[in-house]
Amino acid sequence: MTGLQAGLKNRHLSMIAIGGVIGAGLFVGSSSGIATAGPGILLSYALVGTLVVLVMRMLGEMSAANPTSGSFSAHADRALGRWAGFSIGWLYWFFWVVVLAVEATAGAKILEGWIPAVPQWGWALIVMVVLTATNLVSVGSYGEFEFWFAGIKVVAIGAFIIVGALAVFGVLPGVDSDKAGLGNLTDHGGFLPHGPGAILTGVLLVVFSFMGSEIATLAAGESEDPQRAVTKSTNSIIWRIGVFYLGSIFIVVTLLPWDDASIKEQGSYVAALDSLGIAHAGQIMNFIVLTSVLSCLNSGLYTASRMAFSLGERGDAPKAFAKTTSRGVPLTAIVCSVVFGFVAVFFNYKFPDSVFLFLVNSSGAVALFVWLVICFSQLRMRRIIQAEAPEKLVVKMWLYPYLTWATAALIVFVLGYMLADTEHDGRETVLLSLLVAAVVLAIAFIKERVRRGAPTAAEGVPAETPAKVKAP
């Protein structure tokens, strides 16, 4: 049997959608953002959150009309041309297989701290093997694992927000936190202690923790009711970002002064829990971070393999990538993705400051490239759908096309600001990501040229002209 199967249940899709916006980067990376922008980091998160909501609305419009495992890559293929689908698909795959190495290493560090008898590389290997096996069994087993991983993250952040809010307003029984209070938003140098410019610098530091919001649209293709799943996840993105990102960061910066040394030393969430006198706060947070890491690994492997499957199906990757087992699992796509992940883990241990650093930096701006491609794809796809299948427009982008153009302009502005940033490696990240993107684009154009020129020349028939874009 070939082809993916509808093995994801509605509860799986709901948790994948919620869990997709809660990455390990929220727990691990927020402390540097707070140190840079102070309480104003809330505006940085709000700005990026708004950007993600708008981009996901565009993606939701296209995916509800045509749910597919290739998601934005397949939409770009149809709207902008094969070069666009090929390029953004492979860049996205590259991003996630590098993430596999980053997350496996992060998880291994935590596990080694608990059980030092097993070396860090051993834990990284164990984690990768277990989650690979999970993905190889069936899409349902991936969904089940992600359901519980995401559930733990949601419950943990929900509890953190409730307990923290009670402490901020001084009504948490048995806790007397002298540092907590709304005054922390303005008492230590003001709401913007480093000036308005720090908001944009904060954007650079937090933007990549939002990657993963789009996973639900890729997974929808393997659900029982893809259109309903996409519509639901698109409509709920606002409250998900509002609660989990803005809500939890608000609690952190009101529980502690933004310049408290413990935020940088222990991490923002651990420091916040410690300030309440909660026993073993560090280990509790380590468990939550480990859950987030495993969730990210699980989803990263799933996402990379499904993108590879879609590329194989469209002839933009080896045909073997599009073959599935009797359980509907793209075996070759999963194995090839995890092999690259293993190689990246090896580089992380052998050449952390050269090869691996290059891999991380060269994939760093891919999130922004993906969002930009989604904007331009939606501009074209809306017209196609309206002309040929208007009944499929069950989700619509607001204020089309003006808000789409404004979103694209904001993404370009953020990329430009990164190019001017030398303090936080923004320039290096963009330049290296552009270099990799240029290589992939060159391959795409060469491949397209060969495809057009080769097929029927021997028979004296002109090379095939590109097919007209059809509606989803």
Q: What is the pLDDT of residues 39-71, one digit of tens each?
A: 999 999 999 999 999 999 999 999 999 888 788
With CA atoms as reference, report the closest residue to 94 among 464, 439, 463. Answer: 439
High-pLDDT (> 90) share of the chain, %: 43
Mean of pLDDT values over 243-255: 92
**C-alpha–C-alpha distance, residues 386 and 101, integer Å:** 42
Sequence-ordered list of residues with C-beta below 8 angstroms from that of 3, at least 6 positions apart, any chain? 324, 328
Query: What was the pLDDT predicted at 406?
Result: 97
What are 151-195's pLDDT values in tens digits? 898 898 899 999 999 989 888 877 767 788 899 999 999 999 999
- Residue 445, pLDDT > 80, answer yes
Query: What was the pLDDT predicted at 386?
Result: 94
Query: What was the pLDDT predicted at 336?
Result: 94
Q: State the Cα angle at 145 between 143 and 147, rounded to 5°.
A: 65
Mean of pLDDT values over 95-101: 90
- Residue 469, pLDDT > 50, answer no
Per-chain mean pLDDT for the chain:
87
Return the higher-pLDDT residue of 174 and 273: 273
Residue 347 contacts residue 362 (beta carbons within 8 Å):
no
Domains of the chain: 10-78+97-346 (1.20.1740.10)
Mean of pLDDT values over 188-210: 88
With CA atoms as reference, report the closest residue to 286 among 132, 112, 34. Answer: 112
Query: What was the pLDDT predicted at 53?
Result: 93
Query: What was the pLDDT predicted at 2?
Result: 54
Query: What was the pLDDT predicted at 454?
Result: 61
- Residue 460, pLDDT > 70, answer no
Query: What was the pLDDT predicted at 459?
Result: 45
- Residue 468, pLDDT > 50, answer no
Query: What was the pLDDT predicted at 176?
Result: 66
With CA atoms as reference, report the closest residue to 369 among 422, 419, 434, 314. Answer: 434
Q: Give strand pairing partners of 63.
A: none
High-pLDDT (> 70) share of the chain, %: 94
Sequence-ordered list of residues with C-beta below 8 angstroms from that of 276, at least 6 positions apart, any chain? 163, 164, 167, 172, 175, 177, 180, 255
Structure confidence at residue 413 as a pLDDT band (50, 70, 90): very high
Query: What was the pLDDT predicted at 464?
Result: 42
Query: What was the pLDDT predicted at 471?
Result: 42
